[in-house]
Chains A and B, each alone.
Chain A
Amino acid sequence: MLHLFCPYCQELREEDEFHYRGQAHIVRPKDPESLSDKEWGDYLFFRHNPKGIHHEMWYHVSGCRRFFNVTRNTVTYDIYETYKIGETPAVTAKEETE
């Protein structure tokens, strides 16, 4: 059972209150018509699958019903930080290797 700190409720809650909603920071292209099929396909379907640091979205579905971001290690399941939508992560994979 993971414990996640909801940045909106400002409290640690158990995993069963949350849903996992995949990779974070995916920006919808401003002008989809100008993209190649490959670029559009990458946006729609292709996601990172890193071993280690991963930025992902979670949904506090049985709580405040807000989406937020989590930096998690996919190997150890360590959660380094949680942060609101629109904020940038403090922990990134590049820093981790330095």
Chain B
Amino acid sequence: MSNLTTFDFSARAENTQGATRRETPLHHIIHPNAEMAKVAFNEVAFCAQLTLRGNPDNADFLAGVEKALGVALPLTPLTSHASDSYYVFWIGPNEWLILAPNLAPAAVEASLRAELTGHFAVVDVSGGQTLMTLSGEAVREVLQKSCGYDVEACFPVGKVVTTHFGKATVVLHHQIEGTYLMVVRRSFADYVWRWLEDASAEFGLMVKGA
């Protein structure tokens, strides 16, 4: 499984598009790491994210996606599938979110379009949202404070829910035991960060790699 837990700070300043410098939605955050921090935060920079829509009753659609990605679409509500290159999240009965940390969004889109025909939609949403990971021994306390969703009741590794964090809508995924991945709209990223900074203050917060 690909590693989404370490922030590559050099990626923030990486100049890959000539004169245009890419910045993540949280490129500006400055945080003095707490000693004995019990909550760890990390923004995952520039991960390819694509929304896929299609009919799960169409066998050709399912087979085409599996051929393109090498991983089958999760059809059970609130589940995800993962491979070395991809995470695929169930978002709704005909909607999935594909994350590809090490691939260009255009390449993922092209590989899907090469295999799919008929009624489907694939949209590159990489620029519209960002990824954050939360971990540490107090991570569940912070999530319980911040989400109406009960992460302690039934939230095993691999489960994915769309819910509220503070007042922002986020996609929350239990990535590996004790590590949670959040997909946040880029315009909500600063709000979510500030909320998290406040909610984590009592436990101590550290930003990985800072």
Of B77, B92, B148, which is within 8 A of A65 by CB?
A: B92
Give the docked Cα–Cα distance between A63 and B148 (Å): 12
Check if B2 is an interface residue, CB within 8 A of chain A.
Answer: no
Whether A8 pairs with B93 at a CB distance below 8 angstroms is yes
How many chain A residues touch B (CB < 8 A): the figure is 14
- One of B23-31, B138-146, B162-170 contacting the partner: B162-170
Whether A63 pairs with B93 at a CB distance below 8 angstroms is no
Whether B163 pairs with A62 at a CB distance below 8 angstroms is yes
Please name all residues of chain B whose beta carbon is closer than 8 Å to the beta carbon of A14 when the two chains form the complex: 148-149
Whether A17 pairs with B164 at a CB distance below 8 angstroms is yes
| Also in contact, A10 and B149, with CB within 8 A (given A16-B164, A17-B164, A66-B93) | no
Whether A16 pairs with B148 at a CB distance below 8 angstroms is yes
Check if A37 is an interface residue, CB within 8 A of chain B.
Answer: no
Produce 1/0 per residue, A56-87, CB < 8 A to B: 00000111111000000000000000000000
| Also in contact, A62 and B169, with CB within 8 A (given A8-B77, A9-B77) | yes
> Chain A: interface secondary structure?
loop
Give the docked Cα–Cα distance between A61 and B167 (Å): 13
How many chain B residues touch A (CB < 8 A): the figure is 13
Produce 1/0 per residue, B58-102, CB < 8 A to A: 000000000000000000011000000000000111010000000
Whether A64 pairs with B163 at a CB distance below 8 angstroms is no
Q: What's the A-B contact tally at a CB cutoff of 8 Å?
A: 41
Minimum C-beta distance from A29 to chain B (A)? 27
Whether A17 pairs with B92 at a CB distance below 8 angstroms is no
Minimum C-beta distance from A19 to chain B (A)? 12
Whether A8 pairs with B92 at a CB distance below 8 angstroms is yes
Produce 1/0 per residue, B32-61, CB < 8 A to A: 000000000000000000000000000000
Name A's B-contacting residues (CB within 8 A): 8-11, 13-14, 16-17, 61-66
Q: List 10 A-B contacts (CB under 8 A).
A: A9-B161, A10-B77, A10-B78, A11-B78, A14-B148, A16-B164, A63-B162, A64-B77, A64-B91, A64-B93
Excluding A62-B169, A65-B92, 9 further A-B contacts by CB distance (< 8 Å) are A8-B77, A17-B163, A62-B163, A63-B161, A63-B162, A64-B91, A64-B93, A64-B162, A65-B91
